[in-house]
Structure 1
Amino acid sequence: MDPCPSSFFRRDTLDVARELLGYRLVREFPGRGRGPLVGRIVETEAYTQNDPAFHGWNLYDPETESVRREGRGADLFTSPGLGYVYLIYGMHWLLNVVTEPEGTGGAVLIRAVEPVEGQNVIRANRGEKHRTVDLTNGPGKLSEAFGIDDAFHQADLTQAPLYFTSGELEKDETVATSSRIGISKAVEREWRFFIDGHPYVSPATPSDQTT
C-alpha cells in the first residue's frame, strides 16, 4: 500500500476533505508481528484559516502575512501531510491531517471509517460490548480503535506507521454534505463530507440543527 504523498494534502482543504472519501487510513505496527489496521474513510470535515471554527483562527495576520506561534493551533500552518491531534472532553483524541501549502492554515478531520482489515484488533481496542457499526463511526471511536493518540501530533502521515492510501467511491455511492458537528461558529458552512447512507457515518446531529 503506497502512502499518499504530501502533494496530495498541499491543496485546497475542501478538495482534500471530499477526495479522502473512499481512501484508506492505515495503521501499521512495525516489529510486532501482526498485520495493519485498515479503515475506509466515509466521513470528513474541512477547516481553514478563514474559518471561525478553526483552531488556528486569528493566528494569521493578512497584513504581514505572518502566523503567531501561539498554542497548538499554530501547528495547523505547518507542512501538509502532518498530523494534528487534539483531546476533547479530556478523553477522546481526534485525528486531523494538515492541508494547504506550508504557512497557510488548513486541516481535515477524519470523522469515521469502515473497518477493512484488522477487525479483531479494532474490536479488542474498543471493547467487546460495542456493536460492530459503533467501533469506528465517530472521530474519537476511530482513534481509540486504531491506537491514535498525542504521539501522532505533528507526525508525518505520508509514511508508516500511520498514513493514507488511495481509494474510490463505489458506483452506487454518492457524496453528501452538511454543517459540521459540535461547533457553534460558521454553522452555515456545509464542510462536512460523507458517503450518503453509509452505516459507518457518525450518527451525530449537524450543528446547524442544534444551535
Structure 2
Amino acid sequence: MVDQSELAFRMLCRRYGTELCYTPMLHSRMFSTQPKYRKEQFSTCPEDRPLFAQFCGDDPATVLAAAKLLPPNSVDAVDLNCGCPQGIARKGHYGAFLLSEPDVIEGIVRTLDRELSVPSTVKIRLVNANELQDTLNLVSRLEAAGASVLCLHGRTKEMKGQSTGPPNWDAIAAVKRRVGIPLIANGGIHTPPGSFLGFRV
C-alpha cells in the first residue's frame, strides 16, 4: 500500500504472523532515475523476508531498469502493480488503467521473467464487472508470460470510494480454477472471520 507498507509497518505485521510482505508501490521511472527517491522509498533488513518489491509503470525497459537497481539479494520477487484505481494512476498510465491493454502488461511480465534472477508477479483487479472471460483471458496470458504469482483484487477499478461494494468471490474462485500458479485473494478482508471467505475460495 502506498504510504502504508514501509519497513516499520512490515516488521510489525511480521511480529504478528504475516509471512509475506510487499513494499509500497514504487514508481518505476522515478526509482530508475532518482537516487534520492530510491533512498527514501526503499529500505529493508535481513529479517524482512520474504519480500516482494512492487513497481508501477507501463514500459518494460523502465520497469526492468528500476528492478535492477534494487540492492542485490534484497527481495524475493518483483511485482507489477496493475491494481491501483486512483486518478494519479490514470494520469500516469499505470496500475489498473493498464488492464484494458493486456499486450502492455504481458510485455512487461515477459521482460521481467527473462531478465531478472527473481520471479515476477502481478497484482490485478477484475477487468470488468460484466464479462469474467476478459479477466480469465488476462490471467492465462500472464501465466504464459512467466508470472509466478498473481494477486487478484476482486473488484474493478471503478469500484472505489462510495462505489466500492463487496469483492466478487465467485470471480476469484474462477480465476483460481483457471491458473496453475499461486493466487492471492485481495480486497474486502477486514476481520478474522472475513479472512475465512478467502480460504473457502
**TM-score (norm: length of structure 1):** 0.26
Name whichever structure is richer in helix by fraction: 2
Q: Which has the higher contact order (CA 8 A, sep 6+)?
A: 1
**TM-score (norm: length of structure 2):** 0.27
